[in-house]
């Protein structure tokens, strides 16, 4: 009787191609026997293809600080991390991050980003709006105070569906995705976003692209996001965070947030800062906004 261990590599790789996009099944297959484990683990490009066709990419890692030993380094690690996190995360938009595009991904015939026609339509992932735009209808005063840009950004190469005209990227909403949360809320809130790999690694657009240019209402490019493996939600999130003004308003907001968490934990603010600064997310590179400045000036 023919067994998996005696099948030619070409046959086993053909089986793998029929499982593209199904991370759980692919991981289970890779663990079936030593032969399959060796075949599927010797080439990380296989795992990249599986992640890609499931709608996930690997965000660009920041150069500093140095990566932690458990930081994601390969697509195989990423696949295992995504499956593991989906089983414990309480946020549906994270553990089912690509449910909205499942039909699209199921019809894909390619496993890497590819050049698109300039007029090819792009659709933003719903998380782009949920994480970066105020969920409440703000007053004209608060819009002026918190908005990063006075116009809804439009990605290149083509426009995508936009939120309501009054909605603009909200600096406080973006800031909250970079701040920590209470330990018991870790799997129930995006605090920070990089603690949730499934939401972070979801491609920011469908289809995925390796470069996004954001324009304001005057047609001027104010932000460029690049990732040769496909721009992810976390790539866009971090680019938007870099636009948050370093001013008293946002500094005070972050300080109040840190003070509340420190008080609840029973630690002083410097002690609390030391504890949370060790948690740098699944890429091992997260830096908490304003934290070093706050501690340095205490």
pLDDT given at position 219 = 83
**Cα separations (Å) of 255 from 241, 285, 291, 296?**
17, 21, 8, 12
- pLDDT tens for residues 224-244? 999 999 999 999 999 999 999
Q: Measuring CA to CA, which residue among 125, 113, 109, 115 is closest to residue 20?
A: 109
Query: Could you tell me where the beta strands, DSSP code E, fall in 171-268?
Result: 205-206, 211-215, 221-226
- pLDDT tens for residues 150-172? 333 444 443 344 444 445 789 99
Q: Please enumerate in sequence order all residues whose Cβ is within 8 A of that of 187, keeping only pairs 6 or more positions apart, or say none.
A: 88, 89, 90, 91
Mean pLDDT of 260-271: 96
Average pLDDT, the chain: 83
The residue among 234 and 72 whose pLDDT is bigger is: 234
Mean pLDDT of 234-263: 96
Res. 109 pLDDT band, cuts 50 70 90: confident
């Amino acid at each position: 009787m023919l067994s998996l261990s005696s099948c030619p590599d070409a046959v086993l790789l053909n089986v793998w191609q029929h499982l593209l996009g199904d991370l759980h099944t692919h991981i289970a297959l890779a663990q079936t026997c030593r032969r399959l484990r060796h075949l599927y683990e010797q080439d990380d490009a296989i795992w990249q293809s599986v992640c890609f066709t499931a709608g996930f990419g690997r965000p660009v890692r920041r150069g500093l600080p140095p990566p932690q030993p458990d930081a994601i380094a390969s697509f195989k690690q990423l696949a295992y991390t995504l499956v593991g996190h989906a089983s414990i995360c309480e946020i549906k938009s994270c553990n089912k991050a690509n449910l909205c595009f499942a039909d699209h991904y199921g019809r894909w015939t390619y496993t890497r980003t590819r050049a698109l026609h300039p007029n090819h339509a792009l659709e933003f992932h719903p998380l782009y709006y949920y994480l970066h735009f105020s969920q409440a209808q703000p007053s004209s005063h608060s819009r002026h105070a918190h908005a990063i840009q006075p116009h809804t950004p439009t990605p290149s190469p083509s426009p995508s569906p936009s939120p309501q005209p009054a909605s603009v990227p909200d600096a406080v909403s973006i800031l909250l995705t970079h701040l920590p949360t209470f330990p018991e809320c870790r799997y129930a809130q995006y605090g920070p976003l990089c603690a949730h790999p499934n939401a972070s690694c979801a491609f920011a657009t469908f289809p995925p692209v390796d470069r996004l240019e954001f324009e304001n209402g005057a047609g001027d490019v104010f932000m460029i996001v690049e990732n040769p493996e496909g721009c992810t939600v976390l790539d866009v999130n971090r680019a938007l965070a870099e636009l948050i003004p370093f001013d008293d308003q946002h500094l005070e907001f972050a300080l109040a947030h840190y003070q509340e968490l420190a008080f609840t934990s029973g630690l002083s603010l410097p002690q609390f800062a030391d504890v949370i600064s060790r948690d740098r997310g699944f890429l091992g590179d997260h830096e908490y906004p304003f934290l070093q400045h706050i501690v340095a000036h205490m």
